[in-house]
Structure 1
Amino acid sequence: MKEITGQPYAEVIGDPAGHSKSPMIHRFWLRKLGIDADYRIAEVKPGGLADYFANRADDPDWMGCNVTIPHKLAALEHVADPGGVRESIGAINTVFRGEDGALIGTNTDAAGFWVPIATRNWTGRHAVVIGSGGAARAVLFALAKGGIGEVTMVARSGLKAMGLLAQFGLKGGVQDFGAKLPGANLLVNASPLGMAGQDALDLDLDPLKRGALVYDLVYKPVETPLLRQAADRELETIDGLSMLVAQAALAFELFFGEPAPEEGQDALFEKLTA
């Protein structure tokens, strides 16, 4: 690995990326641990990915990046994949330097998604997953590993969604946004719908099973219209900050070589929701 000549840093890349709360999370942990490093935002257009990774590979202070919309699939073309993420999940959300300085892609989204629901028994249950992009891939990977019984995909491209179900060996089907939801135990919004600046997510949650869990990966706003609607129906909810912080902790250790501190998490969530 090249010698660090200045202040080490990591960053988040996306188009757009300005909405990201990752800098707040990573800087909070860096201060807690007394690490002299930074975490930044980089707006990268789809056509600029190759130049971005080439330039960062030559920057000895760059420790890695988180990858957000719309680069989670395309970024795989520019980094090494020793863990076989291309074949398993098919999308990355984190790039870090290996011991030899090579840029390595991985995915902390799947584990980050799973952490808040890991204590529940999902074997044989029915899930609805909205979206068919990089985040949905991570969700489907985690649900398949967790033994989910059936998945209904809600997506604009039925063919793409069916391909994802087949890729992860999941039973289920695909429907469009206007169709009535099935009586599922879990609904996951893995699309950008409902995010600030994006189209609204308009769903009728009444068909979901009593006691169903609604999990929205969107975190800006933290309380999305989908989560408010679920709460009004007395359904359990999980917001996108839970996954964001869980996946960030995994990435933090890859970037900076230290585990994210567990103490102060309440203060962190207060900052994120202020």
Structure 2
Amino acid sequence: MSRRAAVLGHPISHSKSPLLHRAAYRELGFDADYTAIDVDVEDLRGFIAEVRRDASWCGLSVTMPLKKAMTLEVDECVGAAAELGVLNTVTFGHGPTGPRLTGHNTDVMGIVNALRHASGLDTLHGADAPATLGRKSAVLGGGGTSAAAIAALARLGHETVRLFVRDTARAAEAHRAAEACGIRLEVLSYDGAAERLGESDIVISTLPPRAADPLAAALDQGVFGTELRPLLLDVAYDPWPSALADSFARQGGIVVPGLEMLLYQAVEQVLLFTGAGADSAARVIDVMCDAVNAPRRG
């Protein structure tokens, strides 16, 4: 029986996940159709009810605005998804009364490996992440991806993270992530971000496309010191380069495209959906790189 998988979110037409997953499935000889389906929060419960009646499903990728809401629709969350209270991946197993849905969070390792690759370090199930990727970090935005960013920075040895948000009262997911990871979180107003980002070794923007454009304009006024080369991971990858990425690059910062995170988190999803072993990761990511015109990892 051919299997089904999909990426869910709203909006979703821009997603590159179908290109990545289809390339990986061809490489692995896995018979599955992977599509993009537009689902908003208010439609999610009904959609999942339909999914539970269809035995062909093997996996769901979950993007905004569903990463928190989906935790209420699965039977359990494991690993980083349970730790953070947000997920981006759902797998299907067998329960006593039908399919059993399990939530995972592959965004965390997607961010870790994207930063490791940009720093010239081994990725993909290699050695434990070293505590050598800077000490001062900042996260822009307080949504579900910010929780994964905080957890990733914890895994990279950071003990304090500055979180810049428009409304400091709306950072519950980030606070939960920081508490779970043992990180000290400084929640600051987004209005002061431009003047403070130059103090960071690593900046992770979890903002939607174009949401950081005003910040980029402020950064163009020259707030980085001459000795600083902060590293920016901008998880938004369409359009690319973002205005924020351009601003960082003009000031000598190192820019990591959001496509890198997408690639590495998708590897983890493919292994979960197909049951392939970790030894397949290297060949999977290379064919996915080909599918989106990114440099191969080997």
For Structure 1 versus Structure 2, the TM-score category normalised by the shorter chain is 0.7 to 0.9
Asked if residue 185 in structure 1 is aligned to residue 201 in structure 2, the reply is yes
Aligned equivalent of 2:224: 207
TM (normalized to structure 1)? 0.87
1:104-253 equivalent positions in 2, closer than 5 A: 104-118=102-116, 119=121, 121-122=131-132, 125-161=135-171, 164-165=174-175, 167=179, 168-179=181-192, 180-182=195-197, 183-194=199-210, 200-203=213-216, 204=219, 206-207=223-224, 210-253=228-271
Deviations 1:193-215 (A, max 9, x none): 42xxx673524172366121111
Deviations 1:74-128 (A, max 9, x none): 1000102252656511100000112443011110000111012244634771111
Aligned equivalent of 1:3: none
Aligned equivalent of 2:43: 48
Aligned equivalent of 2:125: none
Aligned equivalent of 1:103: 101
Rounded Cα–Cα distance in structure 2 between residues aligned with 1:94 and 1:162: 21
**How far is 1:232 from its partner?**
1.2
Query: CA 1:262/1:146 → structure 2, altered by over 3 Å: closer, same or farther?
Result: closer
Aligned equivalent of 1:91: 86
Match of 1:70 among 58, 65, 70: 65
Rounded Cα–Cα distance in structure 1 between residues aligned with 2:18 and 2:266: 10
Bigger shift: residues 235-244 or 219-228: 219-228
Query: CA 1:52/1:144 → structure 2, altered by over 3 Å: closer, same or farther?
Result: same
Rounded Cα–Cα distance in structure 2 between residues aligned with 1:264 and 1:141: 25
Query: CA 1:82/1:128 → structure 2, altered by over 3 Å: closer, same or farther?
Result: closer
**How many pairs are equivalent?**
266
Deviations 1:19-74 (A, max 9, x none): 11000000011122222211011111211111111111111111120000100001
Equivalent residue of 1:35, what SS? coil
Unpaired segments ≥5 residues, structure 2 = 122-129
Equivalent residue of 1:10, what SS? strand
Rounded Cα–Cα distance in structure 2 between residues aligned with 1:253 and 1:267: 14
**How far is 1:169 from its partner?**
3.2
Q: Does the CA-based 8 Å contact 2:71-2:77 persist in structure 1?
A: no
Q: Does the CA-based 8 Å contact 1:124-1:149 persist in structure 2?
A: no
Q: Does the CA-based 8 Å contact 2:89-2:269 persist in structure 1?
A: yes
Deviations 1:221-258 (A, max 9, x none): 23212111111112111111111011111111111222
Rounded Cα–Cα distance in structure 1 between residues aligned with 2:241 and 2:35: 25
Equivalent residue of 1:95, what SS? strand
Counterpart of 1:206, as a letter, is V
**How far is 1:17 from its partner?**
1.2
Equivalent residue of 1:252, what SS? helix
Query: CA 1:11/1:43 → structure 2, altered by over 3 Å: closer, same or farther?
Result: same
Q: CA RMSD in A?
A: 2.4
Rounded Cα–Cα distance in structure 2 between residues aligned with 1:63 and 1:192: 28
Rounded Cα–Cα distance in structure 1 between residues aligned with 2:42 and 2:276: 33
Counterpart of 2:232, as a letter, is V
Q: Does the CA-based 8 Å contact 1:129-1:154 persist in structure 2?
A: yes
**How far is 1:160 from its partner?**
3.0
1:20-31 equivalent positions in 2, closer than 5 A: 20-31=15-26
Counterpart of 2:31, as a letter, is D
TM (normalized to structure 2)? 0.81
* Identity level (%): 29
